[in-house]
Amino acid sequence: MFDAVTRMMQEISSITDGRLYGAWLYGSAVLEDFQLGWSDIDFVALTPKPLTESQSENLLTLRQDLLRAAPDNLYYRSFEGVIAGLDEYRSQSFQRLVYWGTSGQRITGRYTPDPFSLFELAKYGKPVFGNKAWILPPPGTDELIRAVRSHYETIRKAAVETNETLYSCGWLLDIARCIYTLRHKEVIAKTQAGIWALEEHLFPDEAPLQKTIRIRQHPLSFKERADIKLWLKGLGPVVQDYADVLEMELKKHKVPV
């Protein structure tokens, strides 16, 4: 992974005329929870000046370009993140940025960083190019609680039905991490949160979470199994049962809207 990160940041710097201000990793890549086949290499890369239209177009498909040049290096497809101007990121007001996500990439002027991500960047972010110090303070407790509430609402809407991808059981780890954040005002790795939830016996039915942790730790061994795909596709009711536990926890932590 180190070689892929180094090459990626060198290419981003080259496309932005060698003026990349800094780049930081966060998420599973720095929380010792990265698993190829499931995890993302989450990053933020910032330039001293706003991106030009030409730079943005060249950055848009960079991860696919690098994967085509080195098809055996599967880490390139794992990169997800934002490339933007430094001052625009600080002010959260964008003229233009490049966003790479799970479902694709886009050039956009609209982007709101997730408070979980900002917390990880401020507290655990790993500099991998240029300046070392992260540029924003971590979100406060109220903001984290509001982020958990927003995530809970997403689960209620988006995870009523699930599909065959491994991310379907990832909802269970998300819920466990949300509860951990509510109780400890901290953001930890998803696998660690799942193990903590089992130790605390948070959920009446622990078997799905136990299975999820096994899959998370060895995703490539489970990804193509027909029995796992069938299980994942029918996981919606279980996710909603786990969300019931999160709902009860949220009722203990009220903050102004």
Q: 89-104 burial string, b = 16+ CB within 10 Å, else e?
A: beeeebebbbbbeeee
More confidently predicted of 2 and 56: 56
When pLDDT is cut at 50, 70 and 90, the band that residue 37 belongs to is confident
The predicted model gives 46-71 an average pLDDT of 94
Buried residues in 43-71 as b, exposed as e (16+ CB within 10 A)? bbbbbeebbeeebbebbbebbeebbeeee
DSSP state of 51: P
Q: How far is CA 55 from the centre of its chain?
A: 25
Where is average pLDDT lowest: 70-74, 86-90, 143-147? 70-74
183-192 tens-digit pLDDT: 999 999 999 9
The span from the CA of 45 to the CA of 54, in Å, is: 17
State the Cα–Cα distance between residues 231 and 236, nearest whole angstrom. 10
Q: How would residue 138 be classed by pLDDT, with cut points 50, 70 and 90?
A: very high
Residue 182 near residue 145, CB atoms below 8 Å: yes
Q: List the helix and strand counts (H, then E) for the chain.
A: 12, 6
Show Cβ contacts of residue 114 under 8 Å, excluding neighbours closer than 6 positions: 147
Strand order through the sheet with 126-130: 104-108, 97-101, 79-85, 41-47, 22-26, 126-130
196 has a pLDDT exceeding 60: yes
Domain boundaries 2-130, corresponding CATH code? 3.30.460
Q: What is the distance between the alpha carbons of residues 43 and 97, in angstroms, rounded to a whole number?
A: 14
Mean pLDDT of the chain: 94
Dmax over CA atoms of the chain, in Å, equals 55
Tokens representing residue 190 in the block: 């998803």
For residue 175, pLDDT over 90 is answered with: yes
Q: Residue 10 above 70 pLDDT? A: yes
Confidence of residue 256 (pLDDT cuts 50, 70, 90): low
Spacing of C-alpha 47 from chain mean position: 21
Average pLDDT over residues 137-159: 95
For residue 98, what is the enclosing H or E element?
strand 97-101
Domain locations in the chain as residue ranges:
2-130, 141-250
Return the percentage of the chain with pLDDT > 90, whole number. 87
